Structure 1
Amino acid sequence: MSCPIDENVLNQLKGEQSELLDKIDELRTIGVGGLVELPQIVVCGNQSSGKSSALEAISRVRFPAKSSICTRFATEIVLRRNPFNRVKVSIEPGKSRKDITEREKLCAFTLESFSSGEDLPSLIESAKECMGLSNTDSLASNSGFKLTLVDLPGLYYSTSSDQGEPGMRIVQSLTESYMKSSRTIILAVISARNDYHIQKVVNMAQEFDPKYERVLGIVTQPDVPDAGSDDEDYYLQLIHNEKVQLQLGWHVLRNRSFETMNISDDARDVQEKEFFNKGRWASLPRDQVGIENLRHRLSTILLSHIRRNLPDLIGDIQDKILRNEQALAKMGTFRTSVQEQRRFLVDISSKFARITNQALNGSYVDDFFGGYKNYTANTEEFPFRRLRAIVRELNECFAHAMSIRGNRRMIQSSSTPALNIPEEICQPYMDGWTPQYITRESLKGEIKEQARESRGIELPGTPNQLLVGSLFRDQCEPWKGIAEAHLLSVWSSVEYFIQIVLKYLIDDHTRGSLMRHLISPKLEKMKEKLMAKLEELVSYYNHGHPLPVGDSYLSKMQESRQKRQLAALAQIIGLENDAVSSLNLDQAANKVVSSSDEFGAEEIIDQMQAYYDTTIITFVQNVAILAIENCFLTPLEDVFSSQTVVDMDDQQLQKVAAEPSVTQNERTRLNEELEKLRLGRETLDAYKPDEISLPNSPILGKFFQRRNEFME
C-alpha cells in the first residue's frame, strides 16, 4: 500500500537512507520479496499491547477502529513520497492459495478510489471480503498487503467464542515465521498497562535470536502505572536495559488513549512530548522516547541492517537465479510440435550417451560426476554416478562370495580347522549364509554307499566318473543363486544410474515418461537376456560331465593327492616325532602304496575338488564378461541414443516428450521469477560494498611480517 505521509516524517528518511530503503521496497514491488527474504521491520506483541497505535504514530496512517478487523491480517506498510493523495492496495496470495482462479482473483484486487489514510478501515474491509474472510474467521495464511513495516496479529493465550484455539496457533505460527528470518528486525511491543512477565513476545524472539541482536523493545502506555509505583520503576529499569538486555535497546511511546483517539496526529505528538518532560520519565535519554526519535532510530537501524545483510542477500538472489536456470535447462524449450519434441530428445540423448560412455569407461570428466569434494561427501547418490567403480566393486564382492560359499558343503579333514568366517560375511551376497561342514571320512562313506548301489564295469579301486560329476553338481549347487543375485544387483545399479542421469538432464515429468515408455521396457529385455545367459552358463554344470581342459586340472589333482598322502603319513608316523622331517615324508610319499579302497572314494573327492577349483574361476569370469559386459553394459549406450530418437514414430514421441500444462505453467513461473530476480540483482549490484581490504592470505601475512622485520 502506498500513501502520502507527513513532510516531517519524510525529512527523516532522506538522502542515502531513503534511496537504499526505496531500492529494497522496489524489490518487494517487483515480487522479489516472495522469492528471497528481504530486510524488514515487524511489529509484534500481545493483543491490546499498542502495536497498531505505535504503527499509526510512525506512519500517520489510521488503522481500523475495530481491533477484530485489524488482527485479521499481517499488514505491511511502506512510507513513500507521492505527489498525489491516494491509497493503493494489492493482495499477494500466500503459499496456501493453490487454486489458480482464486490466486488470479486476489491478484486482480485493487482500489484506486481512496484519497487518504482515513479511508483505510473500509478499504481493509473490502480486501477482507475479497479474501473470503468474515469477522469470526481465523487467519488462513500469512499473505497480506505489500508494505514495509509489518503489523502482525496480536498474540493471545486464552480462547473464547470469538477467538478459538486454531486461530491462536495460527497467529503464533505466523509471528514465528517472521521472527525466524535473520533479516527481520523485531519490534517487540510491551504494554506498561500489564505485568511484563505475562507478555511473551520477547521470549518468543529469543528463540530465534538468542543474543537479542535484532530485537528493539517498544514500551507503550507508560502513563498507566501510577507515578512512583513499583510498576513504573520496573518499566523504567527495563527501558534502561537493566532487566532484559537488548543490543538494539528499548524505546518508549505514549500513544493515544481511548478518550483521545480522535485527536490529530500533531496534538498526539504534543501530548507525548509533554508527558516525557515531567516526572521520572524526564530522566530517560531523549533518543529513547517519543515517536520522532523512534522514526529516526528505525531508519538508522534498518539502514545498518540492510547494509550488513546486503552481501548475503545478493548471494541468495544469485543462488535462486542459478536454481531457476538449472530447472529451466532441465525443462528445455517449449515443445508443442513434433519437430520441437524430437529436437529436444535428440539433444538430451546425446548428453545421455556422453555421460554413460564416460561412466562405463571410468573417465569421470563431465560435471555430472562431481569433483573430489562431492564424491567424498556422505551421500547415497554420488557413488552410483561412477558406474564402472560400482560394477567393479560388485564383481569383487561376487568373486569373494563364490570363493567362500560357492561350495554347498565344506570338506574337512581331521587336521583342517573349521573355517574362520571373516567380517566380510556382511558383504553383498553373504547375508543369511552359514557354512555347512562335512568331514572327509563322512563324505567317503557317502561315496562308497552310492558307488556300491550304482556299480558299473569299472575295475575295483577305480573311480566311477559318474560319481565325480554327481558330487561336483552337488557342490556347485549355490552358484546359480549367487550369480543371479549379482546380476540383479548390477542391473539395479544401472537402472538407478540411468534415473540419476535423467534427473540431472531433464525435469521429473519427462524423466518419468521416458523411463515408462522407452527405457524401462528396454532394461527389462536386457534383464531377460542376462538371466538367459546365466542359464546358459550354468546349464552344462548342472547336467553335463566334467570336461577339464588344460594342465591346471592335473596340477590340482597331483597337489590334492600329495597333500592327502602326506597327511596320512604324518598321522601314521606321528608329527610328535622330532626326528621325522618334511623331507623324510616327501621321500616316503613316493613309495606309499595306496590303502585298499574298493570304490576309489579318495580319488573321486580329489578329482571333484580339482575340477571344482579350476571351473569356479572360469564361471566367475564368464558371469562378469559374457553376461554383464556383453549382454548388459556394452549395449547400454544404445538404450537411449540419437538413433533411438530418430527411429521413434510421432505417437511414441508425443508420449515421451509432450509437455503437460503443469510443466508449461511451471516454465512460465520460473521465467517470471527469473526476470524478477535478475532485475533485483541488477538493482542491488550498485550498492555492493566497495571497501578495499588486504588479501586474506597467511602466506602474504608472513611475507609482510618478514618485510617489516627487515625494515626495522
Structure 2
Amino acid sequence: MTSESSLTFDEEAFVGGLSDPSSAHYVHRRSVLDLVNKLHSYGLHQQLDLPQIAVVGSQSVGKSSLIESISGITLPRAKGTCTRCPIECRLSRSTSSWYCEVYLRVSRQLAEIPFGSVITTKSDVEDRIRRAQLAILNPSKPASDFLGDLGRADIEANNEISFSSDLISVRISGKEVDDLSFVDLPGIIASVREGGKEADIEQVKALVMNFIKKPSCLILLVVSCETDIENQGARRLAKQVDHSGKRTIRKPSSFILYRWFKKLRIAVLTKPDRIAVGEHSNWLRLLSNEQERFKHGWHCVKQSDQQQLDGGISWGDARQNEIDFFSGTEPWSTLDESIRSRLGTQYLTGALGDILFNLICQRLPELLNEVESKVRRIKEDLGDLPAKPSGDPVSIIWKMKAAFEKDVKQLVEGIPEAGIAGLIQTFHREKNQFREAIFRQAPDFRPYNKANPHPQNKGIFGASTAANVTQTIDEDALEPSGPRAPNTAVYLDEVLTTAQNAITRELPHNYPYAVKRHYASRFTKAWPNPAHKLFEDMEHHFQKELRTLVTRHFSAFSPGGLFDAVWRTVLEQLKNRKERTLQKMQECIALEHEEPATINEHYLADYKRKFHARYKAARQIHISYSSNLQTLVNGGYQNSSVMHSALDYLRQMGLDNVKKDDLLRLIPADAADDAIEIMSEVRAYYQVAFKRFVDYIPMIIDFELLKGFDRTLGDALFEGLALGDDQLRQRCSAFLKEDPGVVRRRESLYQDLERFESALDDLQNIPAVDIESDHDSLASIIEEESQQKKLSSSFSAPSSALAHFISRGY
C-alpha cells in the first residue's frame, strides 16, 4: 500500500462520495443520488422521509471549514454572516468544466427559485450565497432585488428575521467534484449578542431538530477538539434523537444518525492540530475505539487554520496540507494502518458516500410504496372535492340542478346501500312505532265487574293471556303484545251502566247506537298525537337529508350565493309540502272522528265474531271456573281426539262449516250478553278502523311530503333560482363563484399530484436500477463495495504504536 508520506492531492482524481467513476457500479450509485436530489427539488422532504446528510454543530467549531473541505467552495465568513438558514450542497462529478448554480427553496412556494445566473468562477460563490441568505431573511422583498444593490456587502443588513427554515440549494458540478449531497444547518447557539433575541436560541434548536428527527437523516455532528466533547450543545441535541447511538456517525466534528444499519457507527475528530500538548491520549483512545466504541471506529480530519484562510489558500493546497499533516506529524503518522485509513477528508467523504448510498438503497422500496400511496390518496381527495366548473354557466347550473333533483328522487325512492340510517328505512321504523302506538290505544274490554275480578282470572286480557287466546283463535293479532296506553281498560259493569243510562224509547234488550259510537269515539280521539309525531319525525329526518344533499351539491358555491338560494328554495318548498300534508292528515283524522263507518262488512263481522267468542268464553270462565272450559279456551283441545270427535259428530249432522273456535259460541248465555255484544262490535270496529288509519296516515306523509316534494322540486328551483329571466347568464356566472378554500385546496392537491406523479415516474424509471427486481442486486453492490474498500469493523485493543505515543505523553 502506498505510504501517506508519498501521497499528493490530485483535484480531478476520485476522493470519496457516492460515485467512483472507476467502479463497476458507478451508474447505480450516481442514479440513486440524482433521484433523491430530484425528490428534494420537488419539495417532498416536507412530506416524505428522504435520506440526507445534515451537518450539525455549535457556532465557531469549524463547521464551515469542514463544508468547504468537502465541497471545494468558500462560505461567507464576514462578521455577522454566520449560517442563518439551511444550505444544501449538491456535488456531482461530470466531464464538463466546473460550474455552480444557486436556488432558493421556500416553504410558501412549491417550485425552486433560481437565484442568479450560472457561476463559473469559484470565488463568486461566497458572495452569491451571502446574497441568497439575505433574500431568505427578508421574505417580504423580491429575492431578485438582492442580486443588485440591495445585496451589496457594504450595506448594513437589517434583516426582517434572524433565522429561517427556508433553504439555499447550491449545485456544484465539475471534473474535480465528487458525488455527495448534504445540508449545512445553522450552528447551535448558547447565547445571543447584545440586542439579539433570546428566542433565537430555541428557534435554531427547533430548526435543527426538525431536520435530524427524521429516521433517514444522517447527522454529521461537528465537535471542535479545542473544547471538551461533553460541553458541546450540538452533541447533546443529537443525543435527544438517538439515545443509544445505534444510528450514529459521530465525530467530535461529526455525529450521524442512521436508522437501518443500527450497527454502523463512525466517529470523526476535527482540528487535531489544536489538541494541547499532553492531551492527545484522550483523542487517541477514541480513534482506537477504546472509548465511546463504534462498530466502524472514528475518523479524523484537519482543516486550514485562520492564517491560511486569510491568505486565500486554495482548496487543493488545503487538501494537500491535510495529507502532509497526517503523514508527517506525530502521533498521527505512526499509528497503525487501520487507524491511518481514517485520517483525512477523503476517507470521511468516502464513508459518508457509502452510508448514504446504503441508506438510499434501503429506502427506495419504501419510498416507492409511500409515493404510490400518496398519489392514490391525493386522487381520492380530489374526487371528494366539487368538480371545477367549466363551460357555459347556464348549462352548468342546469346540470347541477338536474343532478340534485336526481339525488332527491333516489333519496325518496330509497337507497338500499344507506342501511338502517337511510330515509326510507327510517320511515319503516317510524311507521311500525306509529302502528304500535295506535294499537296500544285499543279498548281493553274486560267481561267481568271492576269490583269483583277473580284472582284466578286476573289479567285474562293482559299481555300474556291475551296473546295465548289470540293465537288459538286467529293468526291475526287481536291485542297488543306490549303494555297498553293509559285508561283503555273498560269493565263489563261500566258498559252496562253506560248502555242502560242511554236508553230512551228502545224495546227491552235494545240499546241506543249512541253507546257504540260513544266508545268508538272515545278510543279514536287520541289518534292525532301519534300521527303528528310520525309526521314531525319524518319531516325532521327529511330536512336533515335534504340539507346534506344541498351541501354536497352546492356548498362549494356559497360565495356566489348559489347555496343560499337553493337552500332557501328547498325550505320554502318543504314548508309548502308540510302544510299540504298536515291538511290531508287532518281530513283523514276528521273522517275517523265524524262517525263509525265502514263498507268492509265482512272483516267487521269476522272480527266481531272472534271478539264475541273470546269475551263470552272469558266471561264463562269467570263465572263457572270450569277446568274443561278453561282448557277449551286456552286451546288445550286444539288437536285432541275430543275436538276431532266433536267436529265429526257436527259434520254428520250436516254442519260442515263448523270450526274449532265456533264451539266457543255454544257457551250458555247470561245476563251480560248485551254488554258483550256492545264490547264485541266496538272492539271489532276499532280493529277495522285502526288498520286503515295506520295505512292512510303514512301514505299521506309519503305521497304529500316525500314524493310531493320530489314532484314539485324542479318547478320550485326554476322559480327560486330565477332561471327564466333576462339576466340568466349573468346570474349563473355569479352563482358559480367558488369557495376560496375549495379553490386553494384543489390547487394545492393538483400541485401535490404533479410533484408526486413526477416522483413516482422517477422512482419507477431509475436508469440501470429496478427497485423491485434489483433490490437484491443493490444489496450485493453494497456488500461488494464494502469489501473492496475494506472498511474496518470494531477494534479490540490499542495498537502498539498508539500505546507507545500515549506513554510518551501525547
Q: Report SS of the residue matched to 2:91.
A: coil
Q: Supply the AA of the counterpart residue of 1:92.
A: R
For the pair 1:402 / 2:434, whether they are aligned, the reply is yes
**Partner of residue 524, structure 1:** 571
Q: Supply the AA of the counterpart residue of 2:703.
A: L
Q: 1:618 aligns with which of 695, 717, 722?
A: 695
State the Cα distance separating 1:73 from its structure 2 match: 0.8
State the Cα distance separating 1:681 from its structure 2 match: 4.3
**Partner of residue 363, structure 2:** 309
Q: Report the number of matched residues.
A: 634
Q: 2:394 aligns with which of 342, 347, 369?
A: 342
**Partner of residue 319, structure 2:** 266
Task: Check conservation: 1:92, 1:146, Cα contact below 8 A.
Answer: yes
State the Cα distance separating 1:567 from its structure 2 match: 3.7
Scaled by the length of structure 2, what TM-score is found? 0.62
* Cα distance in 1 for residues equivalent to 2:486 and 2:765: 83
Q: Report SS of the residue matched to 2:587.
A: helix
Q: 1:597 to 1:126 in 2, by over 3 A?
A: same
For the pair 1:119 / 2:166, whether they are aligned, the reply is no
Task: Check conservation: 1:362, 1:389, Cα contact below 8 A.
Answer: no
Q: 1:331 to 1:625 in 2, by over 3 A?
A: closer
Q: 1:7 aligns with which of 1, 12, 18?
A: 12
State the Cα distance separating 1:481 from its structure 2 match: 1.7
**Partner of residue 296, structure 1:** 350
State the Cα distance separating 1:535 from its structure 2 match: 0.6
Measured against aligned partners, the alpha-carbon deviations of 1:453-508 in whole angstroms (never above 9, x if no partner) come to 999999757525255224312255132123311232133224324544x38xxxx6
Task: Check conservation: 2:74, 2:126, Cα contact below 8 A.
Answer: yes
Q: CA RMSD in A?
A: 5.4
* Cα distance in 2 for residues equivalent to 1:166 and 1:455: 101
Task: Check conservation: 2:371, 2:760, Cα contact below 8 A.
Answer: yes
**Partner of residue 30, structure 2:** 18
Task: Check conservation: 1:341, 1:658, Cα contact below 8 A.
Answer: no
For the pair 1:79 / 2:112, whether they are aligned, the reply is no
State the Cα distance separating 1:227 from its structure 2 match: 4.0
* Cα distance in 1 for residues equivalent to 2:58 and 2:741: 43
**Partner of residue 229, structure 2:** 194
Q: 1:156 to 1:617 in 2, by over 3 A?
A: farther
**Partner of residue 543, structure 2:** 491
**Partner of residue 94, structure 1:** 107
**Partner of residue 581, structure 1:** 631
Q: 1:654 aligns with which of 720, 726, 733?
A: 733
For the pair 1:213 / 2:213, whether they are aligned, the reply is no
* Cα distance in 1 for residues equivalent to 2:608 and 2:243: 78
Q: 1:261 to 1:35 in 2, by over 3 A?
A: same
1:490-639 matches, cutoff 5 A: 490-497=542-549, 499-500=551-552, 502=553, 509-510=556-557, 516-517=563-564, 519-544=566-591, 545=593, 546-548=596-598, 550=600, 551-574=602-625, 577=627, 580-582=630-632, 587=663, 590-593=667-670, 595=672, 602=679, 606=683, 609-611=686-688, 613-619=690-696, 621-622=698-699, 625-627=702-704, 629-633=706-710
State the Cα distance separating 1:269 from its structure 2 match: 2.8
State the Cα distance separating 1:626 from its structure 2 match: 1.6
* Cα distance in 2 for residues equivalent to 1:136 and 1:347: 54
State the Cα distance separating 1:28 from its structure 2 match: 4.3
* Cα distance in 2 for residues equivalent to 1:161 and 1:446: 103
Task: Check conservation: 1:408, 1:436, Cα contact below 8 A.
Answer: yes
**Partner of residue 686, structure 1:** 765
Q: Which runs of 5+ in 1 are unaligned?
A: 98-102, 365-382, 420-433, 695-712
Q: Supply the AA of the counterpart residue of 1:273.
A: F
* Cα distance in 2 for residues equivalent to 1:638 and 1:651: 21
Q: 1:158 to 1:531 in 2, by over 3 A?
A: farther
State the Cα distance separating 1:630 from its structure 2 match: 1.9
State the Cα distance separating 1:149 from its structure 2 match: 1.7
Measured against aligned partners, the alpha-carbon deviations of 1:413-441 in whole angstroms (never above 9, x if no partner) come to 7516679xxxxxxxxxxxxxx98853654
* Cα distance in 1 for residues equivalent to 2:683 and 2:518: 14
Measured against aligned partners, the alpha-carbon deviations of 1:522-569 in whole angstroms (never above 9, x if no partner) come to 432442244234313431354342544534455445444544444444
Task: Check conservation: 2:382, 2:746, Cα contact below 8 A.
Answer: yes
Task: Check conservation: 1:468, 1:607, Cα contact below 8 A.
Answer: no
Q: 1:568 to 1:195 in 2, by over 3 A?
A: farther
* Cα distance in 2 for residues equivalent to 1:44 and 1:451: 104
Q: Which runs of 5+ in 2 are unaligned?
A: 1-9, 142-156, 171-180, 248-257, 447-457, 465-481, 636-660, 776-810
Q: 1:637 to 1:67 in 2, by over 3 A?
A: farther
* Cα distance in 2 for residues equivalent to 1:344 and 1:207: 60
Q: Report SS of the residue matched to 2:165.
A: coil
State the Cα distance separating 1:647 from its structure 2 match: 5.7
State the Cα distance separating 1:285 from its structure 2 match: 5.1
* Cα distance in 2 for residues equivalent to 1:239 and 1:408: 88
1:230-245 matches, cutoff 5 A: 233=285, 237=289, 241=293
**Partner of residue 3, structure 2:** none
Q: Report SS of the residue matched to 2:486.
A: strand
* Cα distance in 2 for residues equivalent to 1:652 and 1:456: 75
Q: Report SS of the residue matched to 1:62.
A: coil
Q: 1:477 aligns with which of 523, 529, 532?
A: 529
State the Cα distance separating 1:303 from its structure 2 match: 2.8
**Partner of residue 153, structure 1:** 186
* Cα distance in 2 for residues equivalent to 1:486 and 1:249: 77
* Cα distance in 1 for residues equivalent to 2:443 and 2:205: 73
Q: Report SS of the residue matched to 1:79.
A: strand
Task: Check conservation: 2:100, 2:118, Cα contact below 8 A.
Answer: yes
Scaled by the length of structure 1, what TM-score is found? 0.69
* Cα distance in 2 for residues equivalent to 1:282 and 1:456: 134
Task: Check conservation: 2:443, 2:523, Cα contact below 8 A.
Answer: no
* Cα distance in 2 for residues equivalent to 1:187 and 1:493: 59
Measured against aligned partners, the alpha-carbon deviations of 1:85-121 in whole angstroms (never above 9, x if no partner) come to 66543323214x8xxxxx99x9585476885344366
Task: Check conservation: 2:286, 2:293, Cα contact below 8 A.
Answer: no
Task: Check conservation: 1:526, 1:631, Cα contact below 8 A.
Answer: no
Measured against aligned partners, the alpha-carbon deviations of 1:125-175 in whole angstroms (never above 9, x if no partner) come to 533553369788766652211355222234467788666564444334433
Q: Report SS of the residue matched to 1:77.
A: strand
Q: Supply the AA of the counterpart residue of 1:509.
A: A
* Cα distance in 1 for residues equivalent to 2:419 and 2:541: 12
Measured against aligned partners, the alpha-carbon deviations of 1:646-705 in whole angstroms (never above 9, x if no partner) come to 8682133112224588877777766666655555444443215176599xxxxxxxxxxx
Task: Check conservation: 1:472, 1:608, Cα contact below 8 A.
Answer: no
Q: 1:673 to 1:663 in 2, by over 3 A?
A: same
* Cα distance in 1 for residues equivalent to 2:72 and 2:624: 114
